[in-house]
Amino acid sequence: MSEQIHVSFDELRDALRRVFAAHGCSDHVAGLIAENMAIAERDGAASHGIFRVDGYISTLKSGWVDGKAEPVIDDVAPGFIRADARNGFTLAATDAARHQLIAKARENGVAILAIHNSQHFGALWPDIEPFAREGFVAMSMVNSMACVVPYGGCKPVYGTNPLAFAAPRAGGDPVVFDQASSAMANGDVQIAAREGEALPPGAGVDAGGNPTTDPKAVLDGGALLPFGGHKGSSIAMMVEIMGAALTGGKFSFEVDWSEHPGAVIPHTGQFILLIDPGQGAARPFAARVEELIGRLRDAGVERLPGERRYAARRRAAQHGIPLDAEDWARLRERAGI
């Protein structure tokens, strides 16, 4: 680890945009990936921050993903939009469908965006937090690549399958949680392997199916476990059903990179749900959420999900985003700046 430096959000996003544009993405798509990654880095989610640059580049080079794809958006029902990302990134499909999705949710009370033929390699909460800021309850699910053994099973079937939820509250930033349904995100296992750190017990198994705390053993033919035994396993199953079966995307176990050496981004689907809470009976909804939070505080809860990320965001606004100086130098070189 070299010296730590601080950069502004705009500087980081601009450098990332240049890197992705130089490796086969359209300017628009490069900007969307850069924004997602810069948000993750700024908000302290290292597993989906600049650590992911190499994975995007090797995947783009392999020809597995189309960084210039323009999604096709289909208005299929009053509350249902279907998007074909045309082997591009879901971020582009969400961006293209965004206004229509909001209009439908306002008109009908609910709206779904089901994206298929798509790839997602980032954190999920940046996809949905903006909807909560516009007053919606929002949920998203995306499946990934088979690296999680289902509860009661003996080989990987599920992806790390995150579920993200966001809701407006009266007294502050939206309530947001965003969590893998595996004991750990695969990205955190890779970081632990790089740093030479052990995993917590119960996170994974080696190639022989034996419990291990060695991240390399998990990555080298082993697998992760769902969080919370059968309960996390059911959530992982739901994410496969909503993220792949419902959208028309691939299941995690159907992702096959063998013809594209270097590809590491799963080709799956993404499900996004918006609900207009103004249609519910609790008036106003955001004040009811605030009552719940008040009761949690009374019960001694100091940290709500999302609060660590918001705190990191505030620190970054004041002092800049902390980065390893060598990582930043490498990124600037790749960006040609």
Q: Which residues participate in catalysis according to the annotation?
A: 47-48, 188
- Please, what is the minimum distance in Å from the beta carbon of residue 225 to ligand NDP? 13
CB-based contact 269:243 (threshold 8 Å): yes
Q: Which of 109, 124, 123 minimizes the C-alpha distance to 271? A: 124
CA distance 235 to 53: 29
What are the phi and psi torsion angles at 211 (to 5°)? -55, 140
> Two tokens at 100?
């229509």
Q: What is the DSSP string of 95-155?
A: HHHHHHHHHHHHHHSEEEEEEEEEE--S-SHHHHHHHHHTT-EEEEEE---S-BPPTT-SS
Query: Considering the rule CB under 6 A, would residue 309 count as an interface residue with ligand NDP?
Result: yes
Nearer to ligand NDP, 71 or 174 (CB): 174
- Please, what is the minimum distance in Å from the beta carbon of residue 319 to ligand PYC? 27
Q: Which residue has the tokens 């001694």?
A: 300
CB-based contact 154:255 (threshold 8 Å): no
Q: Of the candidates 124, 132, 138, 224, which one interacts with ligand NDP according to CB under 6 A?
A: 124
Nearer to ligand NDP, 125 or 328 (CB): 125
- Please, what is the minimum distance in Å from the beta carbon of residue 252 to ligand NDP? 9
Q: Of the candidates 29, 180, 225, 235, which one interacts with ligand NDP according to CB under 6 A?
A: 180
- Please, what is the minimum distance in Å from the beta carbon of residue 187 to ligand PYC? 3
Nearer to ligand NDP, 64 or 276 (CB): 64
Nearer to ligand NDP, 111 or 264 (CB): 264
Q: Tell which positions 135-154 bind ligand NDP, by CB under 6 A.
A: 142, 144
Query: Considering the rule CB under 6 A, would residue 204 count as an interface residue with ligand NDP?
Result: no
> Two tokens at 53?
């640059």
CA distance 265 to 257: 9
Query: Considering the rule CB under 6 A, would residue 308 count as an interface residue with ligand NDP?
Result: yes
- Return residues touching ligand NDP (CB under 6 A): 45, 47-48, 120-125, 142, 144, 160, 162, 164, 177-180, 184-185, 188, 303, 305-309
